[in-house]
Every structure is written in C-alpha cells, then in structure tokens.
Chains A and B, each alone.
Chain A
Amino acid sequence: MTSRAVAGTVALGVALALAPLPLIHRTARAQAPAPPAGPKAAALARLAGDAALRATLAERRLARTPDTRDAMVPGLVVVKFRDPGDAAAVAALAAGHRARDVSQPAFTDVHVFRLDPDADVAEAARHLAAEPGVAYAEPVGRAEMHYRPNDPLFRYQWSLEQLDLERTWDINRGVRGEVVVAIVDSGVAYTTLGTDYLQAPDLAGTTFLPGYDFVWDDDVPIDFNGHGTHVTGTVAQSTDNNLGTAGIAFNARIIPIKAVGDDIDELLGAPNVGTAVTVAQAIRFAAEHGAKVINLSLGVRLQSTTLREAVEFAVEQGAFVVASAGNSAEDGNPVFYPAAYAPEIDGVVAVAATDYVQARSPYSNTNDYVELAAPGGNTDEDLNGDGFLDGIVQQTVDLDAFFDTGRFDQFSYLFFQGTSMAAPHVTGLAALLIDQGITEPAVIEAALKHFATDLGPAGRDNEFGYGIINPRATLRGLGLAR
C-alpha cells in the first residue's frame, strides 16, 4: 500500500468516525517508501551542497528550453556614423532608407533609425553598414528582465515554470501592495516557540498577521502536520532569499488559521478536531480580519449549511475563496464541500490538479463543480526527468525528525501532491491579480476562468473546469485587439 493510499484511508476513517470532518487534500509525500520524506530530503540536501550536480542539471535545463525568440526589437537599427555631427548625412541616410524617425539617445554617439516595424532589420542593418560614412549598423537587441528567484530549489518547482511565473513576475513581482491571504489549514510553522517549535526557515521573510487556532482555541496556529506550511509556501514562501524555494505571491501577508487537526493534536489533547464548524469559524475569522483571498486546501464530505454561509459571508466581505476539489477520483469521486458550492457562488472556485504534462492527476476529483485546474503534481511519475517524482516541492515540517527527537525543529523540502497543492497556485495568482487592481471576488473568478487555458474537451468539463490557470495572461488582461 502506498503512502498516498494510507493517508487516504486514515482520512476516510476519521471522516467516518467524526463526520463531518475536513479532509486535507494532500495525498502523499513524493518518496513512496516509508519513511516517505527521508530519502527525498536527503537528496535535496545533497543537491544543495553539490555544485557539480547542480551544474549538470542546469545545463540539461538550458538545453531543454532554448529561447532566442524576439531577440530583436522590430523596426529599430542602431547606426554609428563616422561623423555623428554631420546632420545632413544623417538626414540623407534616413531619407534614403525610409526611416520614420531618427534619434540620438543621450550618453551615446549612435543614432537609432526607426524603420517600418515589419522591415527586416538585419537586412536593413547590412545595407546601412555598407553606406559611406557609416562605421557600423546593427539591429537593436531586446533587453529582457531576467528575473528569476535566486532560491536554489526553484529549478525543481516545475509547476511555476509551467505556469510561466518568471514572465508573470515581470508584470507583478510577487505582490507590491498589501494583499492579505488567509491559509485555513493545519496551521503554519510561522513562529518559534522556545526550542521545541521553530519557524520554517524559508518562511522567515514572509509577513504573518495574527491568526487563530480553532482546534486548540488559542491564537498560536502552529502546524503539527506539515500540510498547512507546505500550502503556505506555494502561496508566499520567502523568495529571492538564497534559500530553498519560491512562492507565487511572495510578498503577500499571511493570516495563518488552524482549522484542521492532526493525530498529534488529538494525542496532545486538543479540545477540538477539525470539522465543518471549525472551518466555518476560520473562514469568518479570515474575512473579518481583512483577508482578500482564503485558501481552503481541504474539504468536507457532508453538505454543511454552516460552511456554505461562512463562505458566502466571506465573499460578501470581499474575500475570494479557493477550495480544492478533492483527491478521491479513484475512490468513488465523492462530492466535497465547500468546493461543491463554487458554481453557485461567484467569488468561489473549485480547483482540480494536473501533472507535469498538464494531464489530470489521477486522484483529482472529476465533479461538475470543478471550475479551474492547476498543477497539483503526480508523485507516481517523473516525467520531467529531474530525478525526483513530479510533486509540488516546498519546505515544511519534517515529521520524521519530530518522531525521532520529539521537537518540531527540523524542516525539509518535500514533494507533495494533491488538489491541496493545486489550490494555492490559484490563491497565489488571485493575490497577484488583486494587487493589479481587480479586487471583487466575482471579477477575480471571471478573470481566472476567462484567461485559463482550456484543457480536455472544449469549454468547461469535469476534469479541468475551464482549464488550467494562465497567470501571465490573467495579469496582462486584454488590449484593444489582442
């Protein structure tokens, strides 16, 4: 039995015993043999310290994605005259080559000829260079913003590459304003409590706002499971910090809210378990504390009016709600809430999971409430050939270390899969979009659907909804003609 199946059985068992219980939509860690995370964490640690191996992988990656498109700016040619002050010669050459405009950029001794945008600038440069009085002429290369987070494990975040996040960040570099995102989950390793519980190092640069723990009924929503910390990382992992991985909306302000318990919480005597009620409480708390996006990588199998009303309340308060669709496609494809409310509430979306080749991840639910898809990974395959199973990687609590030491002071970069991992991709994009100026939940939903890349049968379908999110197209919006 795989660890994914074990996790599912445990979740189902708990659900039957204490229904309605939220099920965390993570199915497993990437490395299947138990203990699951150890070998993967060790491999990643080895990668971090092995420059030669990194170089080999980088070379392979470069070979895979050559990109020489649009190297030249249409219509522009730089011309260096032997006598730049000879205005008559410049004008004559400009007229002879049908230049629309000629300018001499400040601090240079060259002239820029603006030709027809459709002109063959390489050919034009050759002709210009052959003119008497011209020292040289050359096409104008396009300067590109080569923003790429310096987080060393970014290269393993295939989902961010697939979603074209590097170019998306050229438009909006990870939230510039003050967008508040609530992570309603198993808590977050957002703080340090003595020596027994440490903040996740790769969340050290992330801004956290006061949250709440509805399992323990206190205001310290720390994570004993690892799920919530992983989800938080995909949304707002500290980025460009020379450490680990990147988050999509990496400057977003996070409200950590614990609404789902773990066995550890139960064993430690938490007064509550995670239920539809604690989730509803968490949603209302988030909305009342300024959250503009609420990530719900969880679900309840029973219809819950309490939960629905909480979601409706949050949307009314201006919060966009992202719910995972569920990981039980192979287990009867049951309906999960609040995902199932998504089609009926503008401003709530249900998210399915895709793999490295943008096929539906086999576990991802196929219900009529699925509205969007995003990478959730598939830890049964390594289609990108990077030597690791194709899960979503983020830093989170290393439970193996906890079981050894009894302290939550060890963290690993783990590959998780699930619609739980897909949802925070949508949450991160929603945060970026809000930062662009689209703040109404219903409009955010419409924009995400409008710009989604349709997968599967044309139009909406139960596997991918309206398609996989397209962050760059969403943030760019529409021009007059294109």
Chain B
Amino acid sequence: MIRRRHLRPLVASLAVVCALALPATLRAQPPGEAAVAESAPTVVKTIRDRVMVWARDPSRVIATLPEGVELDAVARDAQWVEVRLPERFGGPGDVRGFVYHAHVEHVGGPAVDTLPDRAPSPQEAAGAEVPRRRPAPRFGARGYAEGAYQWFTAKDSFEAILDTSGGVFYGGGAQVYFGPVYVDVGVTRFEKTGERAFVFEGEVFRLGIPDRITMTPLVVTAGYRFPERERIVPYLGGGIGSLKFEETSDFAEADENVSERFTSYHVVGGMEYAAARWLFVGGEVRYTSVPDALGAPGIAAEFDESNLGGVSVAVKVLIGR
C-alpha cells in the first residue's frame, strides 16, 4: 500500500509525464482526421442495395449494406471512399472500410472531394512502425533441396524401357545473387529400373531382363530476379550442365553397360516465396536439352529419339538470405 506521504510526489510525476506526453499524442494524430474531428463529418448514403464494404490487406468484403445507410466518410482513395461502419453492420469499435464512390451519395458535411487521401490506420496514427516491403538485399547466398518431375523428350524410349515417360529427380544445390542477377549450381539424380525390350511396328515387347537407368545432371544456371512483390520473386534463367548417364542391365558385360557424360542446355523460369526471413519456397519450370545422347544400338533408335532432356517442374526449399 502506498502511504499518503509518498502520494504527492507520485501525482506530481504523473502530471509531468502527462504534460510531456499529451502534445506528442496530439502530434501523432493525422492532420486529416484531426480536421475532420474538429468540424462536422462528411456523411454519405448508400444509393443502392447490396453495397459492398471492403477491407484492405487483405482485400475482403467486411459488410454488405442495403440502400439508404448513412455513413461517416473519413478519407478517399482514388475512386474509393473510406467510411466508418455503423455498429449494426461493422460490430463494436472503429471499424472502417471502403465503398465504391458511385455507390454512395453525399448527404451532409464537407464534400467528398475535400476529404483527405486515405486516412492512416490506427497503427499509423499511433506512430507504430508499419511493416514495409523489405528492400531486396543486394547480395545473398542460399542452399536448397529440390524435387523435380521431368517429362522426358525421348518419351517413347523411356516408356518402352521404364513403362513411364517421366521420372522424379532429387537433389540440391547452392545459389548466390548480386542484386537482380543470380547464379545457381545444382545436382540431382534420377534412378529407375525397367526391362530390356524389343520394338516391332511401334509395339513394345519386354524381355524380363532388368535394365537400370541412372541420370545425374550437374547444372549451372545464371538468371535475372525480378523485384519482389508480395514476398514473391519471379526469375528467369538459363545455363549449361553435364549429365552423367548410366545404364546397366543383368547379364551384361562391362562394355555392354553405359556410363557416359553429355553436355546439357537449359532454360528456367520460376518464382520463390519468402516464407520466413531465412526460408524460401520456390517453384520452377525447366526445359533441358541433351542432344545426341541416345540412338543406335539402343531402343531410342527405334523411335528416332536422341535427346535425353525434357521439361520438368521442380519444387525447391531454400535456406539462406
């Protein structure tokens, strides 16, 4: 319990604090709102049924008003008028929203045109720091893991051996960027076992001999990152790589198996989303060409297919900044 003899200095201190804080509080009020508060408010009225009142960030409808509802207008923003919602429509508290200017008419107070531009939010009015779009760092480095599904260009050949014309690649890599330019080095791996086969008039006859296909592409990509918007950064790029292709089968001698490297070329386009400060999730579409990698005496020659590339869709999880 505070004793009486100590009460007087406390009250004096509070008075000093209030005296110092009040002007600051008054200064924190936005000029527009202060002006509106000092005079009669602008009043508008809905002139049609089912007038929608929108909130921003996120954009959504917070109320639907019938015709004839009078609303205090507090600001304008281009063709939108910011209004206070009556409690019966917006619930308790100072709930504000935007109505389209053509859906209301001015019925009292200063003209709508004289309203200030969009009123600051209560947070802004209170002087709180408003989260702003984070400026893109000028330099960054990230590591990532990747899973991709590729539709092979040599679809008939893969279909003949693996019974599928596509496959999943897993891997990872590292990425650095300097302003809008980035460089990415990644390695992935695909492995699947099918059967050796014979083709007659386009029909495939499998022979029951296991045939294992392994592909390990190492790729280098350089590209351009577009400015971030809503935490999303689109990007485009292209590059070159080295694909290690291996094919082994049962009953094969060493020289009947294949272990070769081929040069690959690719272009990519994608977007990454900043899920957190150090965590990004990306989606990417990639076209890869590995020319002259297949042919006689393999089954690819039967289908006149020679390219080991394809179109892939990749999902990346990046950690870094």
Contact = CB atoms under 8 A, between A and B. Distances in A.
Whether chain B is bound by chain A comes out as yes
Interface stretch (A23-31, A34-42, A457-465, A474-482): A474-482
A118 B245 contact: no
Given A437-B205, A477-B207, A482 B198 contact: no
A10 interface: no
Contacts of A167: 251
Interface string A439-482: 01011001100100000000000000000000000011111111
B247 A479 contact: yes
Contacts, number: 94
Contact of B249 (A117, A446, A450, A479): A479
B196 interface: yes
Interface residues of A, number: 25
B306 to A, nearest CB: 10
Nearest to A75: B259
Interface stretch (B14-22, B72-80, B104-112, B208-216): B208-216
Contacts of B258: 479, 481-482
B121 to A, nearest CB: 56
A121 to B, nearest CB: 11
B128 interface: no
A70 interface: yes
A12 B208 CA distance: 47
Interface stretch (B5-13, B292-300, B311-319): B292-300
A479 B251 contact: no
A74 interface: yes
A70 B254 CA distance: 6
Contacts of A64: none
Contacts of B197: 477-478
A99 interface: no
Given A443-B198, A481-B294, A436 B157 contact: no
B61 interface: no
B213 A482 contact: no
Count chain B CB atoms within 10 A of each CB in A167, A171, A440, A481 and give the residue with the most.
Answer: A481
Nearest to A168: B251
B243 interface: no
Contacts of A446: 198, 200-201
B207 A70 contact: no
Interface of A: 69-70, 74, 117-118, 167, 170-171, 436-438, 440, 442-443, 446-447, 450, 475-482
29 contacts: A69-B253, A70-B254, A70-B255, A74-B257, A117-B259, A118-B259, A167-B251, A436-B207, A437-B208, A438-B198, A440-B200, A443-B198, A443-B200, A447-B205, A450-B198, A476-B207, A476-B209, A477-B197, A477-B205, A477-B206, A477-B209, A478-B297, A478-B298, A479-B161, A479-B196, A480-B154, A480-B161, A480-B298, A481-B298
